[in-house]
């Protein structure tokens, strides 16, 4: 779990370094990378049992890339893990 927390901190640091606004097509590579960072953050948070944040980061990835099956899958896994952790799954 310690490595997951460290990885999450590094992903968040990388996200803070991104430009907030861009110049049209110039932002496309940044947005793709941002989606990847949000998905990685979602995975880290899920593995550290922070399911609410895992779902939130997956949703942020979906905002940037609405048809991303990976983001839908990450959000679904966060929701399922949350239910399972609460004993509601089964």
Domains observed in the chain: 2-85 (1.25.40.10)
Residue 26: which H helix or E strand, with range? none
This prediction has a pTM of 0.85
Does the CA dihedral 20-23-29-35 come out positive or negative?
positive
pLDDT at 24 over 60: yes
Residue 14: which H helix or E strand, with range? helix 2-16
pLDDT in tens, 55-90: 999 999 999 999 999 999 999 999 998 877 777 644
Cα distance between residue 84 and residue 65, in whole Å:
27
Distance, CA of 28 to chain centre: 18
pLDDT in tens, 36-56: 999 999 999 999 999 999 999
């Amino acid at each position: 779990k310690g490595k997951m927390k460290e990885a999450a901190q590094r992903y968040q640091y990388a996200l803070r370094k991104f430009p907030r606004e861009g110049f049209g097509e110039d932002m496309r590579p940044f947005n793709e990378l941002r989606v990847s960072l949000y998905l990685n953050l979602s995975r880290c948070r899920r593995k550290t049992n922070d399911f609410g944040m895992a779902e939130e980061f997956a949703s942020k990835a979906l905002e940037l890339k609405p048809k991303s099956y990976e983001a839908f899958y990450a959000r679904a896994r966060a929701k399922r893990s949350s239910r399972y952790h609460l004993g509601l799954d089964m």
